[in-house]
Amino acid sequence: MKDDAVPDAQPPASATNGARLVIAVDGPAASGKGTLARRLAAHFGLPYLDTGLLYRMVARTMLDAGELLDDTEAAAATAAGFDDTAIDEARLRGREIGEAASVVAALPTVRRALIDRQRRFAAGGAGAVLDGRDIGTVICPDATVKLFVTATPEVRAARRHKELAGRGEAATLDGILTDIRRRDARDSGRGDAPLKAAEDAVLLDTSALGVEEAFQAALAIVESRRRG
C-alpha cells in the first residue's frame, strides 16, 4: 500500500522518541479528519492511511466492471482482490464515489476483507496514522491515541461545498447537506462496525476551528495522551 505521508514542516527525526505511536482518527464525512490525520502523520514522521480510499476503491472497481453495489459476492471478491498500490486518489474523490463507498462499506463481507490490509499498515515499525470510521473501535483498538473528529452537518456541508467548487464539481449547498445527512445515517446505522467514537477516544469538535487551530488542538491531545 502506498505510504501517503507527506512530510511537510520537517518533523524532528525523534518526533516519536523511539516509541511506537499509532493514532486512530475517526469521524463523519467532511469533518476535517483527513486533513488532521495527514498533518499529524507529517508532524510525527509516520505513514498515513486514508482508509476511506479502500472503500472508495472497491466501489470504483465495481462500478467500472458494471457490477451492482448490492451484489455481496462481487463486492467481497473485489475487496479481497484489488491492488492497493494502484489507488489513484484523483479518480476516487468525487461525490458519487463517496456515496457508493458508503453503500459497499455497509457490507460485512467487504469490511472483513479489508481488515488485514489496514492492520498490517498499522503494525509497521514506528507506528502509523489511520483515519476512517472504525479505526479506534475495530481496526486498532489498542491505538496509542484515538481522536473522534466532528463538526456540525452544516459546517461540514459548507467545507465540502468549497472543496468541490475548487475541483470544478458543481453541487448546491442543500444537495451536499442532504448527502452528508444520508451518509451519516448509513455509516452510523449499519450493523457492522458503525461510525462511533471508541470509549477511550477524545472528542474534537472542529465546527468553530480553522485548519491550524484544529491541528494544534489535535496535537495537544496526542501529546497529553502520550505523556499518559
Among 52, 127, 136, 153, binds ligand DC (CB under 6 A): 52
Nearer to ligand DC, 77 or 101 (CB): 101
Q: Identify whether the C-beta of residue 154 lies closer than 8 Å to the C-beta of residue 177.
A: yes
* Residue 120 to residues 9, 123, 139, 146, 162, Cα–Cα distance (Å): 27, 5, 10, 18, 34
179 is a site residue for ligand DC (CB under 6 A): no
Strands across the sheet containing 127-132: 48-50, 127-132, 21-26, 145-150, 202-205
Among 21, 24, 25, 29, binds ligand DC (CB under 6 A): 29
60 is a site residue for ligand DC (CB under 6 A): no
Among 137, 156, 183, 198, binds ligand DC (CB under 6 A): 183
Rg (CA), the chain: 17
Say whether 42 sits in a helix, a strand or coil. helix
* Stretch in the footprint of ligand DC (CB under 6 A) among 131-139, 149-157, 198-206, 220-228: 131-139
Compute the distance between CA of residue 49 and CA of residue 213 in angstroms, rounded to an integer: 22
Nearer to ligand DC, 16 or 137 (CB): 137
Binding site for ligand DC (CB under 6 A): 29, 51-52, 55-56, 98, 101-102, 105, 132-134, 183, 187
